[in-house]
Amino acid sequence: MPVITFANTKGGAGKTTAVLLLATELAQVGYRVTVLDADPQRWISRWHQLSPALPHLNVISYVTQASIERHIADNRYTTDYFIVDLPGAQTPLLAKAIGLSDHVLIPIQGCAMDAQGGANVLELLRFLDDKAGIKVPHSVVLTRVNSMVTTRALLAVKMLLLERGVEVLGTPIIERAAFRDIFDLGGTLHTMDDGRISNLDKARQNARAFALEMLRHVPLRGTKPIAESTTARRFWQAA
Ligand SMILES: Nc1ncnc2c1ncn2[C@@H]1O[C@H](COP(=O)(O)OP(=O)(O)O)[C@@H](O)[C@H]1O
Ligand SMILES: [Mg+2]
Residue 166's CATH number:
3.40.50.300
Q: What is the extent of the structural domain holding 208?
A: 3-230
From CA 13, how far away is CA 218, in angstroms rounded? 22
Residue 175 CA, closest ligand 1 atom number: 3
Count structural domains, the chain: 1
CB-neighbour burial class of residue 35 (10 A; exposed 0-12, middle 13-18, buried 19+): buried
User: Could you give the 3-state DSSP secondary structure of residue 107?
Assistant: strand
- Of ligand 1's atoms, which has the minimum distance to the CA of residue 180? 27
Pocket test for ligand 1, best of 108, 180, 204 (most atoms within 8 A of CB): 180
Residue 236 falls inside a structural domain = no
- Those residues with Cβ within 8 angstroms of residue 20's Cβ, 6 or more apart along the chain or in another chain: 44, 47, 182, 183
Q: Is residue 127 part of a domain?
A: yes
Q: Give the Å distance between the CA of 137 and the centre of ligand 1.
A: 24
Q: 95, 125 in Cβ contact below 8 A? A: no
Mutating to test ligand 1, I would choose from 86, 144, 171 the residue with most ligand atoms within 8 A of its C-beta, which is 144
Is 176 within a domain?
A: yes
What CA–CA distance (Å, rounded) separates 155 from 60? 37
Is 239 domain-assigned? no
HSE value, Cβ hemisphere, 13 Å, CA-based, for 156:
6
Q: Is residue 237 part of a domain?
A: no
Within 8 A by CB and 6+ apart from 42, the residues are: 61
How many CA atoms does the CB half-sphere of 60 hold within 13 Å?
21
Cα of 11 vs centre of ligand 1, distance in Å, is 9
Q: Which amino acids bring their CB within 6 angstroms of ligand 1?
A: 8, 11-17, 88, 143-144, 173, 175-176, 179-180
On whether the CB atoms of residues 91 and 70 are closer than 8 A, the answer is no
CB 38 within 8 A of CB 67: no
CB of 122 closer than 8 Å to CB of 106: yes
Provide the phi-psi class of 94: left if phi over 0, else alpha when psi is between -120 and 50, else beta.
Answer: alpha
Q: What is the pTM of this model?
A: 0.92
Euclidean distance between CA atoms 233 and 170, whole angstroms: 23
Please give the pLDDT value at position 11: 86
Give per-10-residue mean pLDDT for the chain (239 aa): 94 94 96 96 97 95 93 96 93 92 90 66 86 88 86 78 86 96 96 91 97 94 56 63
Residue 106 belongs to some domain of the structure: yes
Has residue 201 been placed in a domain? yes
